[in-house]
Amino acid sequence: MEFEFLYAIPRTEVLDTFFLTINKITGSYGQLWVIIAVILLLFKKTRKIGIAVLVSYVLVFVLGQYGLKNMFSRMRPCQIDETFELLVSRPSSSSFPSTHSAWAFGGAVAIFLGNKKGGVIALIWAALIAFSRMYLFLHFPTDVLAGIVFGVLMGVVATKLVEFISKKISAGKGGVYE
């Protein structure tokens, strides 16, 4: 059933280029979100958001990339059907959950919780990243959905953790977060 959905996505040169560009910008390990976090860290007004994006990224990396993927060890669509012509190199890692989707939604939610306007743009970008993973035949829809849910959760946890630590530091002696 999930294969039927993936096979039904129309392939065109324009869409191929579009989703390959999104994939390239995002990076093989979602490094785009680290770059965004570093940029946000540079400005006092967005420093907490940057820290939350970075914490979310690390949580997804540790718990998702090295935890859940190894626990589930689900094969990717492109590993099951090797006849499908890929536009990217065939990955060897497991499919479930989509950590690209998790990194994207974790970062986007952290941004949204700190800045609604910027967060909406980040959420749209995250949705494009998530869909690109299916378009490129690298993930099943359930991988992407699980990645989105996991990422949203990590974004919320990271934001709450940063707020908690920031309040503790501010209550004590003031800190770098303010």
Q: What are phi and psi of 73, to 5 degrees?
A: 45, 45
Residue whose entry in the numeric block shows the structure tokens 């039904």: 8
Q: Is the pLDDT of residue 136 over 70?
A: yes
Structure confidence at residue 3 (pLDDT): 65
Q: What is the CATH number of domain 13-171?
A: 1.10.606.20
Mean pLDDT, residues 103-124? 97
Q: Encode pLDDT of 67-87 as tens digits.
A: 999 999 899 988 888 888 888
Q: Is the pLDDT of residue 93 over 80?
A: yes
CB-based contacts of 48: which residues, under 8 Å, 6+ apart?
114, 162, 163, 166, 177
Q: Encode pLDDT of 45-74 as tens digits.
A: 999 999 999 999 999 999 999 999 999 989
Map out the domains of the chain as residue ranges.
Answer: 13-171
